[in-house]
């Protein structure tokens, strides 16, 4: 019986042991990190300012804090520390609300976000209206909700904002602010608000403004915003959202003008024979190489979109000239053709071109495209290699001067350059040619050149380089000649006297010699006059440098700068000069001896001419002095300029 009990107990113990050995060990579950924001959205007023949001990190990594970032430029100075997320919100200059997100990052966690919502700027509002539109003018009417607060109104091309990178109202205000405050600083303004109002930069109450010299088919932006001037009337700030309206002026309706065009191609040379068929006014033409965005192939239809592009290109071009002081009438005469025209030019060989012609007429005070563009295509011929050789000779080589002769064996076109030897590539002739073509404006010549060069530096090695070139095609090998200049010394020549007189009429001068002095008359309307001048030297020399400088420029830049500018271009010993009425000038002169040594600079006493119908002198005096009854006397400019 006792044995039975013992066996039973033993079985029970073995069972317990077996069960215990089969149980899995207990594992602890890790606690995951978590980041919580006290709020997931924050509302900010239009004024902006400093903001803070509390956060907590549960089960975080010791020493590791959150990282917060935002793509919005108006949310800055983001910092996270001690459970507080701090950042700054810029003032919202727009009337509408805006929102952005701040991304909160923590290792091994998905990003969480804080949404920032900012209200719009509440302030003065504006009613805006554009009326009386022509192709170049319009009238704006702006009515503010508060007639007592000053506001700025301005008109700009939409392209201006693109070019300046202005994409927000704040950037626009800053751009204006810098410009207007720069004006105030320039004129040492004591009372800013009065300055802005008096110069019609700012207004009060209803304003009506006539805008001129605008361009058709361009997008414009008229905008206005209120300003608040500080207590001492020396600064201002934005006091309202920026109101704006966008519009464009329609161009005039295009007529149909036909041109009879015959283009004769000889190698890369194209001769254009143009005859308007049903039109006797002004016209213009552009020539585009294949690959240009304005190029169109033969048979292409020039649609309305292309016509607008042509018009915009024309208007952009004349706008640049008008900003330089040319009048609309002057540009019409200077830039346009009229009637039958024939002329030739050398273009790139073996290349397709498109000639685009269109009529130009004065519309609303501006020369504008008046007809649908006409397309004429042509192709230049291939230029073949030449067996021409070029002999280069250098004589009378001294300090700053040398006589260079370039003698080709045929009458084919070539180009030549004079450069400092140290600048010339040392790799290969082909590389030298490519370097010249890429870096210099290489003129074409035919036949022999005998050139007196007077722009060299003492004790310097120079290289003359020449090669056949026609239609942008290299036709020969490279030819070169090296030489070195001497050390400078004392000038063995001197200026005896410089004489001049004026004023004379530019209108009368052009009337008397219309071909020789073409378009000189247009400068008289800008206050310019003609004068004669002559220089006498102790020894004969062709290396003469003299002209007039504004006295204020001479004082500001100093003698050394004027000297360096003066010796850039050679003068004839007697020549025509032009000056501006009522401007104080000084005459400056320098000469060289036969070796190219400079004389001291001769400087006159200041002088001034007041030009008018009463003060102008008889033109015959100028004609006699300069001898311009005969062939015009050319200035002794080097045929070959130092590159």
Q: pLDDT tens digits, residue range 18-71?
A: 434 444 454 555 568 899 999 999 999 988 999 999 999 998 888 899 999 999
Q: Which of 83, 87, 40 is nearest to 65 (CA)?
A: 83
In this structure, are 204 and 83 located in the same domain? no
- Has residue 9 got a pLDDT over 50? no
- Claim to verify: residue 105 and residue 193 sit in the same structural domain: no
End-of-domain residue from the set 248, 280, 299: 248
Domain membership flag for residue 27 = no
| 83/181 same-domain check | no
Element (H, E) at 38: none
Contact (CB, 8 A) for 242 and 151: no
Classify the C-alpha dihedral 510-514-517-519 as positive or negative: positive
Asked whether residue 268 is assigned to any structural domain, the reply reads yes
Q: What is the pLDDT of residue 19?
A: 39
Q: Collapse the DSSP code of 471 into the 3-class scheme (helix H, G, I; strand E, B; otherwise coil) and give the result.
A: coil
| Percent of the chain at pLDDT exceeding 90 | 79
- Is the model's pLDDT at 17 over the cut of 70? no
Residues 237 and 265 in one domain: no
Q: Are residues 341 and 221 in the same domain?
A: no
Q: What is the pLDDT of residue 28?
A: 53
Condensed to tens digits (0 to 9), the pLDDT of residues 606-638 reads 999 999 999 999 999 999 988 876 444 333 333
How is residue 635 written in tokens? 């200035």
Q: Distance between CA 88 and CA 82 in Å, rounded?
A: 18
**420 located within any domain:** yes
Q: What are 154-213's pLDDT values in tens digits?
A: 999 999 999 999 998 889 999 999 999 999 998 888 899 999 999 999 999 999 999 988
Backbone angles phi, psi at 580, to 5 degrees: -105, 130
Q: List Cα–Cα distances, 85 to 61, 111, 119, 316, 411, in angstroms.
A: 18, 15, 21, 52, 81
| Pairwise CA distance, residues 240 & 121, whole Å | 7
Which residue's entry shows tokens 């170049």? 136
> Considering the domain boundaries, does residue 12 fall inside one?
no
Q: What pTM, to 2 d.p., does this model score? A: 0.61
The boundaries of the domain holding residue 292 are 259-379
Tokens of 47: 């004024």
* pLDDT 10s digits, 550-581: 999 999 999 999 999 999 999 999 999 999 99
User: Of 76-85, 93-102, 575-584, which gets the smallest average pLDDT?
Assistant: 93-102
Task: Return the CATH number at 465.
Answer: 2.60.40.10
Mean pLDDT, rounded, for 490-507: 96
pLDDT of residue 47: 85
Tokens 């790799």 sit at which residue? 427
189 and 98 part of one domain: no
Provide the CATH number for the domain around residue 612: 2.60.40
Q: Say if 19 falls within a structural domain.
A: no
DSSP 525: G
Question: What are the pLDDT digits (tens) for 326-339?
Answer: 888 999 999 999 99
Domain assignment present for residue 39? The answer is yes
Same domain, 232 and 300: no
Is residue 607 one of the residues assigned to a domain? yes
> From the CB of residue 279, how many other CB atoms can be counted at a distance below 10 Å?
18
C-alpha dihedral, 303 to 309 to 313 to 318, nearest 10°? 80
Q: What is the pLDDT of residue 638?
A: 35
Q: Could you please report the per-residue DSSP string of 48-77?
A: -EEEEEEEEEESPPTT---EEE---TTEEE
What is the separation, in whole angstroms, between the first and last Cα of the chain? Answer: 129
Kindly report each contact of residues 198-203 with a partner whose C-beta sits within 8 Å and lies 24 or more positions away, as own/partner. Answer: 201/152, 201/154, 202/150, 202/151, 202/152, 202/153, 202/227, 203/142, 203/150, 203/151, 203/152, 203/153
Tallying the residues shown for the chain, one arrives at 643
H or E element in which residue 491 lies: none
Domain boundary among 198, 217, 248: 248
- 407 in the same domain as 366: no
pLDDT at 106: 93
Angle value at C-alpha 246, between 243 and 252, nearest 5 degrees: 150
Report pLDDT for 124: 87
Q: Are 93 and 111 contained in the same domain?
A: yes
User: Domain count of the chain?
Assistant: 5
In eight-state DSSP terms, residue 185 is H
- The predicted-structure confidence for 525-535, as pLDDT tens digits, reads as follows 889 999 999 99
The residue out of 118, 145, 164 marking a domain boundary is: 118
Same domain, 154 and 48: no
Q: Does 323 share its domain with 397?
A: no
Within a domain: 7: no
Q: Within this chain, do residues 273 and 358 fall inside the same structural domain, yes or no?
A: yes
């Amino acid at each position: 019986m006792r044995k039975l009990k013992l066996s039973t107990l033993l079985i029970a113990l073995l069972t317990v042991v077996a069960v215990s050995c089969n149980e899995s060990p207990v594992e602890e579950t890790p606690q995951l990190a978590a980041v919580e924001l006290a709020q997931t959205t924050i509302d900010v007023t239009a004024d902006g300012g400093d903001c803070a949001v509390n956060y907590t990190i549960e089960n975080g990594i010791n020493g590791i804090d959150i990282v917060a970032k935002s793509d919005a430029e108006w949310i800055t100075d983001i910092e996270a520390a001690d459970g507080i997320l701090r950042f700054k919100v810029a003032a919202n200059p727009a009337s509408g609300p805006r929102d952005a997100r701040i991304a909160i990052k923590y290792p091994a966690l998905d990003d969480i976000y804080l949404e920032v919502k900012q209200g719009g700027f509440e302030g003065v509002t504006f009613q805006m209206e554009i009326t009386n539109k022509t192709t170049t003018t319009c009238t704006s009417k702006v009515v503010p909700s508060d007639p007592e607060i000053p506001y700025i109104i301005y008109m700009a091309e939409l392209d201006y904002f693109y070019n300046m990178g202005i994409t927000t109202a704040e950037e626009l205000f800053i751009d204006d602010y810098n410009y207007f405050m720069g004006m105030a600083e320039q004129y040492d303004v004591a009372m800013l608000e009065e300055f802005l109002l008096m110069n019609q930069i700012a207004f009060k109450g209803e304003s009506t403004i006539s805008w001129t010299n605008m361009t058709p088919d361009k997008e414009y932006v008229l905008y206005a915003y209120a300003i608040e001037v500080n207590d001492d009337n020396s600064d201002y700030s934005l006091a309202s959202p920026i109101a704006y309206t966008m519009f464009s002026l329609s161009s005039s309706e295009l007529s149909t003008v036909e041109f009879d065009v015959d283009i004769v191609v000889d190698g890369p040379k194209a001769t254009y024979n143009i005859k308007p068929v049903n039109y006797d006014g002004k016209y213009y033409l552009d020539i585009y190489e294949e690959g240009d965005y304005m190029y169109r192939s033969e048979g292409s239809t020039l649609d309305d979109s292309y016509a607008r592009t042509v018009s915009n290109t024309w208007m952009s071009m004349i706008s640049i000239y008008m900003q330089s002081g040319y009048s609309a009438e002057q540009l019409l005469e200077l830039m346009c053709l009229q009637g039958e025209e024939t002329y030739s030019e050398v273009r790139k060989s073996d290349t397709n071109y498109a000639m685009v012609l269109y009529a130009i007429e004065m519309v609303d005070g501006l020369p504008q495209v008046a007809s649908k563009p006409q397309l004429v295509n042509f192709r230049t011929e291939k230029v073949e290699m030449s067996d021409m050789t070029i002999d280069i000779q250098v004589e009378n080589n001294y300090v700053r001067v040398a006589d260079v002769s370039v003698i080709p064996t045929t009458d084919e076109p070539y180009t030549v350059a004079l450069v400092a030897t140290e600048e010339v590539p040392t790799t290969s002739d082909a590389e030298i040619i490519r370097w010249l073509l890429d870096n210099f404006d290489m003129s074409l010549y035919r036949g022999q050149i005998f050139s007196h060069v007077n722009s060299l530096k003492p004790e310097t090695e120079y290289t003359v380089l020449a090669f056949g070139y026609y239609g942008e095609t290299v036709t020969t090998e490279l030819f070169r000649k090296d030489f070195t200049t001497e050390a400078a010394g004392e000038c063995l020549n001197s200026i005896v006297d410089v004489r001049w007189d004026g004023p004379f009429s530019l209108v009368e001068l052009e009337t008397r010699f219309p071909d020789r002095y073409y378009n000189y008359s247009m400068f008289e309307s800008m206050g310019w006059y003609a004068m004669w001048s002559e220089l006498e030297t102790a020894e004969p020399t062709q290396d003469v440098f003299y002209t007039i400088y504004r006295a204020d420029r001479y004082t500001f830049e100093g003698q050394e700068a004027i000297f360096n500018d003066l010796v850039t271009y050679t003068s004839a010993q007697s020549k025509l000069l032009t000056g501006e009425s009522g401007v104080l000038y000084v005459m400056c002169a320098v000469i060289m001896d036969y070796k190219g040594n400079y004389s001291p600079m001769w400087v006159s006493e200041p002088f001034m001419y007041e030009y008018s119908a009463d003060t102008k002198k008889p033109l015959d005096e100028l004609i006699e002095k300069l001898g311009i009854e005969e062939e015009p006397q050319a200035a002794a400019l080097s045929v070959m300029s130092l590159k």
